[in-house]
Amino acid sequence: MEDRKNYSRKATLSLKISEFEMPPMQDLLIIGRRAPIGPEAVRRMAEALSPEQFSIVRVEHPKIEAVLVRSSLLQMLEERVLINIIIEEAEAMISDTMVLRSELKVAVSVQREVDMS
Amino acid sequence: MKVGEEMTRTVYSVTSDRSVLHASDLMGMHLIGSLLVVDSGAVVGIITSRDVRSTHPNRIVADAMTPNPIQVPEDTFVWDALNVMKQHGIERLVVYSDEGSPAGIVTREKLASRLAEWTDSMTGLFKAPYIEAIANAWLSSGETFHFLFVDLNDFGSINKKYGHPVGDDLIRGFAEKLVSVFGQEASLCRYAGDEFAVLTRNSASFVRSAIDTLSSGLSVGPAKLTASVGWMDMSRIADRDALTFRELVMRASLLSTKYKPAGKS
């Protein structure tokens, strides 16, 4: 009883606030075949958050079901080339239950020579 | 004999944005193995218990369903529906009503077991009600077709002379010959003991050549067998609009008797 008199319960709150990135999925989402979220759900989410900016590309791969790609990237590079590179880099680290997000920037460097005469 | 008579009429549905877990709960609650996926009144897919088992429960139904399920009208014959399932390698068909709305679901297992009841176990051909259903449908729709009644000649004496096992071999052999001559295009049945019936929409010249092949007979060991065929070409029947299946069989069987070898009929 004596101990009970000194009993108290307290809660400590910790609050972290940061800006919500728009869109939260950056440039790419690589979706595993048994991931908790499937390609259609990802497509609908992307469409709701950033209308007409992302495309779903379904792939034939034992672990990867589809890739969500920022549509502007597909305008810069051929889809097959881009997807093959993404799969090559992702397949070593992804499991079929995972969804990976990735940033992908394309920088084009040009050097030209012109005739001075 | 149509899918409308065999389908499960109570159709449960789910929208494509619900979770697979919700679909699983619905199936468990109603003790069913599949749900139609309906968005804005249109059928967009079908999700089965197998889909549910192989998909993460957090996924939405759209990511687990089979999109654009194959649909057939209610008046599709059971064997035609089963062929559609075999062609597409699917286990379920959505059945739609005359109004175009989903009326039910049929499973391959249900149709296959129903069809087994109409299959002759000795030959693998269908039984008489099969031919009757198709003939009635073609007669009522005014289609032009050929009906053949095939009677094996003097089959009773073969049984007596060589024994019933040889007779059974001849029946099976003749059924195989029918299949090889007519292929998958015709509807074939073992009408009764040593009588067969064929419905086909092939050309008259094909039918004539098929009859020649059938009439040439069949041998199993020392036993030899010939057949008489009564042929009804519906394009040549004047009173075809008033013809019933019973009348069709009667005329064709009388024709086959008429052309039996002398002293054998």
3 state SS for chain A: CHHHHCCCCCCCCCCCCCCCCCCCCCCEEEEECCCCCCHHHHHHHHHHHCCCCEEEEECCCCCEEEEEEEHHHHHHCCHHHHHHHHHHHHCCCCCCCCEEEECCCCCCCCCCCCCCC
Contacts of B55 in chain A (CB under 8 A): 34, 38
pLDDT value at residue B115: 83
Query: What's the domain range around B148?
Result: 120-258
Say whether pLDDT at B197 is over 90. Answer: yes
Say whether pLDDT at B194 is over 80. Answer: yes
Say whether pLDDT at B265 is over 50. Answer: no
pLDDT value at residue B245: 87
- B222 shares a domain with B98: no
A97 touching B, CB under 8 A? Answer: yes
Residue B94: in which H helix or E strand, if any? strand B92-96
- Among A37, A39, A40, whose Cβ lies nearest the Cβ of B58? A37
Say whether pLDDT at B264 is over 60. Answer: no
A58 touching B, CB under 8 A? Answer: no
- B95 shares a domain with B210: no
Tens-digit pLDDT profile for residues B134-160: 888 888 888 889 999 998 888 888 888
- Mark which residues 6-35 of B lie under 8 Å from A by CB: 16-17
In angstroms, the separation between the Cα of residue A16 and the nearest Cα of chain B is 27
Lowest mean pLDDT among A104-113, B27-36, B106-115: B106-115
Mean pLDDT to the nearest integer, B84-110:
87
Walking along chain A (117 residues) 10 residues at a time, the average pLDDT comes out as 76 91 88 96 94 95 96 94 95 94 91 89
- The reply to whether omega before B102 is within 30° of 0 (cis) is no
Tens-digit pLDDT profile for residues A18-45: 888 888 888 999 999 999 999 999 999 9
Say whether pLDDT at B30 is over 70. Answer: yes
Using 50, 70 and 90 to split pLDDT, how confident is the model at B261?
low
A38 touching B, CB under 8 A? Answer: yes
**Cβ atoms within 10 A of the Cβ of B193, count?**
11
Assess if residue B252 is contained within a domain: yes
- Total beta-carbon pairs less than 8 A apart between chain A and chain B: 31
B66 touching A, CB under 8 A? Answer: no
Assess if residue B219 is contained within a domain: yes
In angstroms, the separation between the Cα of residue B66 and the nearest Cα of chain A is 13
ipTM: 0.79
Assess if residue B147 is contained within a domain: yes
Assess if residue B177 is contained within a domain: yes
Tens-digit pLDDT profile for residues B36-55: 999 998 899 999 999 999 99
pLDDT value at residue A1: 55
Q: How many domains does chain B have?
A: 2
Q: Do B63 and A34 touch (CB under 8 A)?
A: no
Of the residues B88, B116, B144, which one is the last residue of a structural domain?
B116
Highest mean pLDDT among A96-100, B96-100, B207-211: A96-100
| Domain harbouring B103, CATH code | 3.10.580.10
Of the residues B59, B89, B116, which one is the last residue of a structural domain?
B116
Pairwise pLDDT comparison (B185 vs B201), residue with the higher score: B201
Q: Residue B102 is which amino acid?
A: P
**How many residues does the structure list for chain A?**
117
Assess if residue B49 is contained within a domain: yes
Lowest mean pLDDT among A26-30, B115-119, B193-197: B115-119
pLDDT value at residue B243: 84
Pairwise pLDDT comparison (B244 vs A87), residue with the higher score: A87
- B132 shares a domain with B240: yes
Of the residues B95, B116, B137, which one is the last residue of a structural domain?
B116
In angstroms, the separation between the Cα of residue A25 and the nearest Cα of chain B is 18
A45 touching B, CB under 8 A? Answer: no
